[in-house]
Chain A
Amino acid sequence: MDWLFLTEVSLAGIGAGGLYALTGLAFVLIYKATRVVNLAIGEILMVGAYVFFGFSAGLALPFWLAAPGTLLVSGLLGAGIERTLIRPMLGENPISIFMLTIGLGSILVGLVELVWGANPLRLPEFMPTQPLFLGEAYVSPKVATAFAVASLVVTAFLILFRFWRGGVALRATASDQAAAYSMGIDVPKVFSLSWVIACMTAGAAGMLVGAIGGISPTMGVFGLSVLVVVIVGGLDSVLGALIAGLAIGLLEALAGAFLGGEYKTLTTFSLLVLVLMVRPHGLFGTHEIERL
């Protein structure tokens, strides 16, 4: 066994896992506040990456303008989606809303192809490129940067939800809308805000993912791995998204290195099935309380 190789593969996996966790956070935020399973999260991430491409390559803006601009546009996209598509569906069958997000994903792919075409593109370099060594093990500087940003954001949200009462407002809204209203919580604002923040997070993840692997309209399939992450971690748990994100990133990398690339998905989805059999609400998700 080559320990150096194992370490390098593991580090790369954990690095990728950071991005899973970040995108998972975007998913969890929306689910936590609105109980909407947003399958378009991968496509929103993709739009974020393209918007960044448009700002930095198209308009040739410097990074410090292009990045906040991307976050802003992603946030506006989130607000728009919530206001025009999600809010009118309030109180409808969850399956309908779920289907609506699938449709939304296709529409976003179509729009991006209309504007930028279907061919893969490369983002302008904005991350450090000096090779990085942890001990003897090589870590891609891009992956390391992405991991650092992702873990910072996720940790910030973990702390926020622990000490900020807005976290309680979010969960209260998800738990019982009418009761949340009667507590003086501005429910529509909570909805809107959760979509805005989630889409900004997804946009940021899109920039990072795009910088590592390039962008294409099909990069939204990244969302599929994220779906596995949030189901394993628990749909409403930020901590779950973090831990499951890292674990699945690691698992994918190891499976890819030792079993071959075609076994990556098999391994992660096997884990998914296993976790669902043992804990149907995910590792850290809350399960519904039923009093008899």
Chain B
Amino acid sequence: MPTVDQPPKLAQRSLLSRVMIGVLSLLAIGGCIVSLAAFAYGKNAARQSYDRLLVGAANDIAESINIIDGAAIADIPVSAFGLLSLALDDRIAYAVRGPDGALLTGYETALPPEGAARRQADPFYFDSTLQGEPSRFVTVVRRFSERDYSGTVSVTVGQTLRARNAMAIDLTKGALVITGIAGIALILSAYLVIRSAMRPLERMASELLARDPYDLTPMQADGPAEVAVMTDAMNRFMQRLDRQIGAMKHLISDTAHQLRTPVAAIRAQAELAIEDDTEHQPQRLERLLRRTRSLGNLLDQMLSRALVIHRTDNAPPEPVDLRDIALQVLDDCDPELLAPGVEVDLIITDAPVIVMADEVSVTEAGKNMLTNALQHGKAPIRIGVSTSPTQSELWVEDAGKGPPHDVLSRIGGRFERSAASQGNSAGLGLSIVHAVAQAFNGSVNMGTTETGFRVTLTLPTQNEDNT
């Protein structure tokens, strides 16, 4: 690929210099075209003006020819040479020739090409040389039909090209000076315009340079559309980074805070179990087991929360059927183990309930909702799915009255354990549900219904025609 071969210097050149080089080369090409055009124009103008002098002189001479005693005699007027000497430094040739082409007066060097005199085309211009110097000639023909003279007399006048060339160069120079001034003005204004167009980029660059590497707050998103898109994308990226870093910090600090106490407790129980007499040992081991299981739960929840936050940021949402989730939750939770003898009813519809979400995250949320109900609620417990054109719900309901009002207002934060949690809950369950709801534009509602207390995860319905 050609871009690979480009030297790094080229790649690092600033946008301003690139655009300026582009503009300059455009102007240079334009300047060349204008110069050529100006020169062609100047040459043409000079040719036309001096051709008129030439033909004027030729006509002057032709007018001065009289037939005297049967011979054509020219009385060359000074005015003819006055016209020609307007071209100050040009040599002159002229010739008056009779019908047979014989020179009557003037210079032999002014010789029209073969057949020019017969051509009658009036006046007849041609290019030739004068003593080796390129020259321009014109021939005009005058016809006589006198008693003693009948035929044509041709007058050929020519001059060298110094004045023409000087005039052409003068005109070209004039045009080039104007073009040059215009070009410089264009370059200056192009520079200013491009500079001002680049200013948002420069500002962004300097802002980024000046920014603390740990600062992940959004940048100012004003400026032209192209730049705003970039800022916007960068801000989104930084937000995600910020969230991930936040989640990581939470995980680390949670782990530090929350694991220290249970581990210490387990160690204490284990030490006591070793020191105690055999009579109390089974009791100690029982406690040790409970503590260990509680620690396991805590770890499960912490990791699952980390997983949910990670996935909601990284796994792209895809169509998920909430009925499958409800079934999966019921399968995974194994109610018999958590709350033996408690019946869990599954209430689902026939039609699929599709939302855009991450299956793993929503399943995790559902598991936590069901686990909470199994641990804190009263039987019978129901898990269900309901839908409307705009919103779909995954809910878990128990027959109890729900937690007290003051607990309900605090519930959902991290490590907010209720009194009823009996020490084997980490208090992370509802916070996971909240995180999932937030990630997929949904909400979490808790409230009492006619039949008990219900926790609902509401997500926007994915209509099939939207996919």
Binding between chains A and B: no
Residues of B within 8 A of A (CB): none
